[in-house]
Structure 1
Amino acid sequence: MHKVSDGQKRRVQICMGLLHPFKVLLLDEVTVDIDVVARIDLLEFFKEECDQRGATIVYATHIFDGLETWATHLAYIQNGELNRSSKMADINEMKTSPNLLSVVESWLRSETKLVKKKKKKEPVAAWKPSPLDNSPFRSSRHMAYYR
């Protein structure tokens, strides 16, 4: 497996996950390493599986292309709390926006504006050394981007 691409690894992971029947399937950024055509085919497969099995898929993603016709419901989580939850047909912004991406973008931009308004300068605490400072498991900005 170490010689195959990330997309091929992702396909194997998806196939292994689908070997067992499901009523609820939780997917987190499952299509991130997959090419556009494979992504569309996979989403169509999931849609058919849900219809045939009567199953539910909870799909967390930052990639919104083509989800307008795929999703039946949308949940928007802001700062760890459920901000919005409704049927796609009941989202008023979808009636005037060209796609789901532009709707989500407007929500995120308004969220950013709220955070800037609420943000106050807090006193900076003095830095105290920690026994974990030299640990390889210590969090750093760079580690946030690695998989």
Structure 2
Amino acid sequence: MIFGVEDADPDRRDKLIELLDIDLQWRMHKVSDGQRRRVQICLGLLYPYKVLLLDEVTVDLDVVTRMDLLEFFREECEQREATIVYATHIFDGLEAWATHLAYIQDGELRRAEKISDVNELKSSTNLLSVVEDWLRAETKGVKKKPVQKNFASSPFFSSRHMAYYR
């Protein structure tokens, strides 16, 4: 048993501990939200996966740790052929990480395409400015009729979601 986790690969564990800058002396009731998030991510990634769904997983991480984690995800996708779907509102650095994007608005898939096929990226400085343009255009557009109540419980109803995946 490795730190209370059976059958975990010690090399993978050590890599995640170093990558996420985790101190094994931390006590969870005394650490910050960011430190707690690092431990949660480490525990969630201890075992290899084929498909990983992440929702705002990097929200409490500092920039360096976030970029290192995205690089780890890239390696996972390339070396193990894993698929990662990463929903986020933080766009920094995603141009180099994501291979595809999906844009969901009011429960409907509005766009789904390869990052390399997003024409607006060819004339823009970064993904953030492209998505900002989409969202600003959307808020100026005609408001749709409310969706029937049976769809109102959808987690995608009445909000905008961007998902990126490899």
TM-score of the superposed pair, with normalisation by structure 1: 0.77
Match in the other structure for 2:66: 39
Amino acid at match of 1:74: L
Q: Tell me, yes or no, if structure 1 residue 65 matches structure 2 residue 92.
A: yes
Q: CA deviation at 1:118?
A: 3.0
Report sequence identity in percent.
79
Amino acid at match of 1:118: K
Q: 1-side partners of 2:108 and 2:144: how far apart?
A: 18
The answer for unaligned runs of 5 or more in structure 2 is 1-27, 146-166
Match in the other structure for 1:88: 115
Q: CA deviation at 1:119?
A: 6.8
Over alpha carbons, which structure has the higher Rg? 1
Match in the other structure for 1:54: 81
How many residue pairs end up in the alignment? 118
Match in the other structure for 1:14: 41
* Structural RMSD (CA): 1.2
SS at structure 2 position matched to 1:98: coil
Amino acid at match of 1:99: N
Q: 2-side partners of 1:38 and 1:47: how far apart?
A: 14
SS at structure 1 position matched to 2:97: coil
SS at structure 2 position matched to 1:15: helix
Q: 2-side partners of 1:80 and 1:108: how far apart?
A: 15
SS at structure 2 position matched to 1:83: strand
TM-aligned CA distance change 1:119 to 1:86, over 3 Å: closer
TM-score of the superposed pair, with normalisation by structure 2: 0.69
Match in the other structure for 1:102: 129
Q: Tell me, yes or no, if structure 1 residue 113 matches structure 2 residue 144.
A: no
Q: CA deviation at 1:81?
A: 1.0
* Structure with more contact order per residue of length (Cα contacts < 8 Å, sep ≥ 6): 2
